[in-house]
Amino acid sequence: EIVLTQSPGTLSLSPGESATLSCRASQSVTNNYLAWYQQKPGQAPRLLIYGAFSRATGIPGRFSGSGSGTDFTLTISRLEPEDFAVYFCQQYSNSFTFGPGTKVDIK
Amino acid sequence: EVQLVESGGGLVQPGGSLRLSCAASGFSFSNFWMSWVRQVPGKGLEWVANIKEDGSIQYYVDSVKGRFTISRDNAKISLYLQMNSLRAEDTAIYYCARARDWGYFDYWGQGTLVTVSS
């Protein structure tokens, strides 16, 4: 099983700042089969990024994904008020596992 | 507009059974793998099961193998999860999700809460 570790656990930032979220895998994620989701309280997760760097339909350009192998990054440039949420990474190259999440909260 | 609406959650005693349903609309249901993903409230996400477009292949997380069965009825545009021998650790919100490219989830339902407790 591929174990995903996300850091930091919590990121405290102000609107307008940029956020860099890390997702590290215990073994290589082949074919860049890595996705990112956003979840707000009381809501279902929302797909942001798939294939490590492809934005899902309707996702603003301030969200970008990068990385390969075992190290992946989600970058949110110029945080908007609606971006404060929990972010999960997920791999689908070997079964399907999720990271524990990074909470982005307002400083 | 893609919509997934789960139902069937509730309170059940340990060892009991429950059947979850997911009604789909807004897309060609029979052309997509479908999945169940669960989440203990306030905690992380766990993939539970996947089923192929025609229902011929299913995959499960080890912790539910032999107890849960995923199925679908393409004529009724519905996905199901039969859960038997339920345990306290199965308590979670269960989401129905559409799977793409083998395994990321591009649309999710609102979830249905399953509580296993005596």
Task: Test A90 with B104 for CB contact under 8 angstroms.
Answer: yes
In the stretch 87-116 of chain B, residues with CB closer than 8 A to chain A read 95, 100-111
Per-residue model confidence (pLDDT) at position B66? 97
Can you name the residues that pair with A88 across neighbouring β-strands?
A: A37
Q: Which of B50, B104, B111 sits opposite A35 (nearest CB)?
A: B104
pLDDT in tens, B9-41: 999 999 999 999 999 999 999 999 999 999 999
CB contact, 8 Å: B27 with chain A?
A: no
CB contact, 8 Å: A87 with chain B?
A: no
Give per-10-residue mean pLDDT for chain A (107 aa).
96 97 97 97 97 97 97 97 97 96 95
CB contact, 8 Å: B45 with chain A?
A: yes
Q: Which of B59, B102, B108 sits opposite A45 (nearest CB)?
A: B108
Q: In what order do the strands lie in the sheet with B3-7?
A: B3-7, B18-25, B78-83, B68-73
pLDDT in tens, B48-107: 999 999 999 999 999 999 999 999 999 999 999 999 999 999 999 999 999 998 789 999
B46 CB neighbours in chain A (<8 A) are 98
DSSP A51: T
Task: Test B109 with A44 for CB contact under 8 angstroms.
Answer: yes
Q: How far apart are CA B110 and CA A40, in angstroms?
A: 12
Per-residue model confidence (pLDDT) at position B85? 98
A87 CB neighbours in chain B (<8 A) are none
Per-residue model confidence (pLDDT) at position B29? 97
Per-residue model confidence (pLDDT) at position B14? 98
Q: Hey, how many other C-beta atoms are within 10 angstroms of the C-beta on B52?
A: 14
Q: Which of B95, B103, B111 sits opposite A33 (nearest CB)?
A: B103
Task: Test A51 with B101 for CB contact under 8 angstroms.
Answer: yes
**What is the distance in angstroms between the Cα of B108 and the nearest Cα belonging to chain A?**
6
Per-residue model confidence (pLDDT) at position B72? 98
CB contact, 8 Å: A101 with chain B?
A: yes
In chain A, at which residue ranges do the beta strands (DSSP E only) sit? 4-7, 10-13, 19-29, 34-39, 46-50, 54-55, 63-76, 86-91, 97-98, 102-106
Task: Test A92 with B102 for CB contact under 8 angstroms.
Answer: yes
